[in-house]
Amino acid sequence: MAENKHVILTGDRPTGKLHIGHYVGSLKNRVALQNTGKYDTYIMIADQQALTDNARDPEKIRRSLHEVALDYLAVGIDPKKSTILVQSQIPALSELTMHYLNLVTVSRLKRNPTVKTEIKQKKFGESVPAGFFIYPVSQAADITAFKADTVPVGDDQEPMLEQTREIVRTFNRIYDRDILVEPEGVFPPKGEGRIPGLDGNAKMSKSLGNCIYLSDDEDTIQKKVMSMYTDPTHIKVSDPGHVEGNTVFTYLDIFDPDKEHVAELKEQYQAGGLGDVKIKRYLNDVLQAELKPIRERREQYADNMDYVDQVLKEGSERANKVANQTLKEVRDAIGINYFG
C-alpha cells in the first residue's frame, strides 16, 4: 500500500444543510479518496469560520452543525475511515492562525481573489469583519495542523491553497525547520467543479434560493426540477432549442451515467420536437435515483443524534492530539516553549 497521505477539506461552513453543489464539488471526491484506503482523512466542520460573518447569530451555526454532520454521514463519509472534527473544538488551530498572521501582509490578503469575490458577494464594503478577512490564514492553520498534503476542494479554492503554500514556505525558511507540509489540491473532474443554480445563475447558493438540498424530499425535488431554467427561446415543442447554458442539460451531463442517451436528447432538443417538460421529467428521475439513498441514510442517522454527537466528539478528540503535536513543533521552532 502507498504511504498514507493526510487529507482535509476546510470549505464546509455550517450555515445550513448542504446542497448538490457541495455534493458534486467536493463530497463525492472525499468519499472516493476515503474509500481507497490510502489516506489518513480529516474532514472538518468549520464552525469558527462560519462565525466570522455570523457572530450575531451563533444559534444558526449550532443548529447547522448537526445538519452538515448528517449530510456527511448520508453521502458516505465513514467515521471508521475518516476523522470528522469540529473546528472550534481544536484550540491549537487558533494559536497556529495567530502565528501565521505574523507571516502574511494585509496587502497579500487583499489580493486573494476568493476573498475579494466573497467580500463583494456579501456586500461588506469597508465593514468586512476582521475574522472573515483573515480566514485564508485560518484555513492554512486547518490544513497544516494535520500536515495535509492532499486537499480535495472546488476549483475556486485554489487561491486558498496557494496562500497556504506561501505560509508553509515562509515559515520553514524563517525558522529553518522542515516542519510544515505544502498541500496540493484534488479537484473535481473537468466540467463538474461547479454546478449552476436552478435559475441558471452561475453559482448555486443558499442565499439565492436556487438549490436542491441533499435532504429534500421527493416532491420538493420534483417541484424544483420542474421550475428549472432552460432555453427562453424554446417556446414551442417544435422549436429548435439550445443546450448551451440550459441548466437541465448541464445537470444531465453531471448526474446521468448514460452519456449516450444524453447526447441523443441534446440532438433531439436542438432539432426541435423535444419539450422542456419531458426533459425535466427525465432529469427528475435521474436526480431521484441519485439522491434517494442519501436522503434515506440521512433520515436513519437523524433518528440517532446521540451517535452523531459521539462521532463528532471522538473525531475532535483524535484531531486534537494530532494538532497539538504540530503546535508543539511550531512553538519549538519559534522558540516560545519557554518552560519545556
List, by residue number, the catalytic residues: 122, 203, 206
Residues 6+ apart with CB under 8 A from 227: 198
Cell of 249: 442539460
Task: Please spell the DSSP secondary structure of 66-121, one letter per residue.
Answer: HHHHHHHHHHT--TTTEEEEEGGG-HHHHHHHHHHHTTS-HHHHHH-HHHHHHHHH
Task: Please spell the DSSP secondary structure of 107-171, one letter per residue.
Answer: HHHHH-HHHHHHHHHTT-GGG--HHHHTHHHHHHHHHHHTT-SEEE--GGGHHHHHHHHHHHHHH
Cβ-based neighbour number of residue 328 at 10 Å: 12
Q: Do 178 and 144 touch, CB atoms closer than 8 A?
A: no
Q: What torsion do the CA atoms of 65, 66, 68, 72 make, to the nearest 10 degrees?
A: 130
Give the whole-angstrom CA distance, residue 161 versus residue 140: 8
Give the whole-angstrom CA distance, residue 258 versus residue 280: 16
Cell of 186: 484534488
